[in-house]
């Protein structure tokens, strides 16, 4: 993910078992067409491997020996269930010197090197699903299932210090492996893809979802009640609203920012509620993170013709400056006035 700052300055689970699942919350359904959205971080030099189209996250890899990851900006605490839809898996690679082609879900400890993963792997001569983990500096390999299915579901669950991997190839959930005495620290979701050393590679995902406790605030920004993109005729009323759910940072003091890229320059919302031009960040508000169902920051029918990007962000370090750290959360909405 390319952070927007670079443009301006550089449930607890009830029961986790097959057939008895708590309601899932969608983390990303990949329907905004924006691979640089606020849900994920990934290295900029690997951005060419990722696209987002037709409500799918798509990975296409040349035979470049690339291991391309995207990592959730949200962290999760305690027990969880994290699910990944995968589809269209195909690879013609026959050389695996560096990486066997694969696409899957990793659960990464936010404070270190521990992780657990389930991955669809293989080339044209045979595919398989593998489970593996790194726990306390030691590698652990689970079972491997031979399959050439191009579509399916993966799930990783944690209850206490026990992590389990699951798959569903159309016949219901099957537990592949159990990792006991695993890590209990906060985690991030990671989607990993391996392109192989030759041939072609393609895979896609329709959504990631979860049951669990989110650590950092979730923020939103809308135009006329829509996440966008929004197109309006000149003279149409435009209402910009922001929202926040603080999650586990409720009550913590932090910085709140809102800014806009407009046809006539960069604008920031100041502490008096006015939009002012500035090439450097302006603090909108500093105070405790709290539940904010909806708050209007702009209500006008006078916007000139052109393209606009409006951002809303919160930062857990209350120093008046945007800090690109864990817990910096943002959202964006696109507007065209024509």
pLDDT of residue 36: 55
Rounded Cα gap, residues 157 and 21, in angstroms: 11
Q: Looking at 214, 245, 269, which one is the last position of a domain?
A: 214
pLDDT of residue 60: 77
Q: Looking at 168, 186, 214, which one is the last position of a domain?
A: 214
Q: Which of residues 112 and 6 earns the better pLDDT score?
A: 112
CATH assignment at residue 257: 2.60.40
Q: Is the pLDDT of residue 56 over 70?
A: yes
Residues 88 and 144 in one domain: yes
Stated as kind and residue range, the H or E segment containing 311 is strand 306-315
CATH assignment at residue 72: 2.60.120.200
Residues 205 and 235 in one domain: no
Residues 136 and 84 in one domain: yes
User: Span 229-234, mean pLDDT?
Assistant: 94
Q: Looking at 214, 245, 278, which one is the last position of a domain?
A: 214
CA angle 122, 123, 128 (to 5 degrees): 25
Range scoring the smallest mean pLDDT among 46-55, 197-206, 302-311: 46-55
Residues 255 and 321 in one domain: yes
Residues 256 and 306 in one domain: yes
**Residue 13 pLDDT class (50, 70, 90 cuts):** very low
Q: Is the pLDDT of residue 4 over 70?
A: no
How does DSSP assign 247-301, residue by residue? GGGTT-EEEEEEEEEETTEEEEE-TTS-EEE-SS----EEEE---EEEEEEEEES
Token duo for residue 217: 């605030």
How many domains, in total, are found in the chain?
2
Token duo for residue 265: 């320059």
Q: Is the pLDDT of residue 33 over 70?
A: no
Q: Is the pLDDT of residue 275 over 50?
A: yes
Residues 17 and 36 in one domain: yes
Residues 126 and 236 in one domain: no
Residues 164 and 271 in one domain: no
300, β-bridge pairs = 238
Range of the domain at 279: 218-337
Token duo for residue 170: 């159309």
């Amino acid at each position: 993910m390319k952070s927007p700052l670079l443009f301006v300055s550089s449930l607890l689970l009830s029961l986790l078992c097959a057939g008895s699942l708590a309601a899932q919350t969608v983390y990303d359904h990949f329907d905004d067409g924006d691979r640089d959205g606020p849900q994920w971080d990934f290295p900029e030099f690997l951005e060419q491997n990722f696209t987002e189209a037709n409500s799918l996250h798509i990975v296409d890899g040349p035979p470049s020996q690339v291991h391309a990851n995207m990592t959730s900006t949200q962290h999760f605490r305690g027990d969880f269930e994290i699910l990944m839809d995968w589809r269209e898996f195909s690879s013609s690679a026959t050389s695996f010197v560096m990486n066997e082609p694969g696409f899957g879900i990793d659960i990464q400890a936010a404070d270190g090197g521990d992780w657990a993963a389930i991955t669809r792997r293989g080339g044209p001569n045979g595919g398989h699903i593998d489970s593996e983990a790194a726990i306390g500096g030691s590698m652990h390999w689970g079972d491997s299932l031979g399959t050439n299915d191009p579509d399916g579901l993966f799930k990783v669950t944690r209850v206490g210090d026990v992590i389990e991997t699951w798959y569903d190839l159309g016949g219901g959930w099957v537990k592949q492996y159990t990792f006991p005495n695993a890590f209990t620290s906060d985690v991030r979701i990671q989607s990993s893809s391996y392109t192989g050393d030759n041939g072609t590679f393609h895979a896609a995902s329709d959504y990631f979802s979860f049951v669990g406790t989110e650590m950092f605030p979730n923020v939103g920004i809308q135009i006329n009640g829509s996440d966008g993109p929004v197109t309006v005729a000149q003279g149409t009323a435009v209402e910009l609203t922001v929202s926040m759910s603080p999650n586990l940072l409720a009550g913590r003091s932090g910085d709140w920012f809102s800014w806009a890229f407009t046809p006539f320059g960069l604008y920031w919302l100041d502490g008096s509620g006015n939009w002012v031009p500035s090439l450097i960040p302006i603090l909108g508000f500093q105070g405790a993170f709290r539940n904010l169902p909806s708050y209007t920051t702009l209500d006008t029918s006078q916007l000139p013709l052109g393209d606009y990007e409006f951002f809303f962000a919160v930062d857990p370090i209350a120093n008046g400056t945007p800090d690109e750290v864990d817990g910096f959360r943002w959202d964006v909405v696109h507007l065209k006035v024509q």
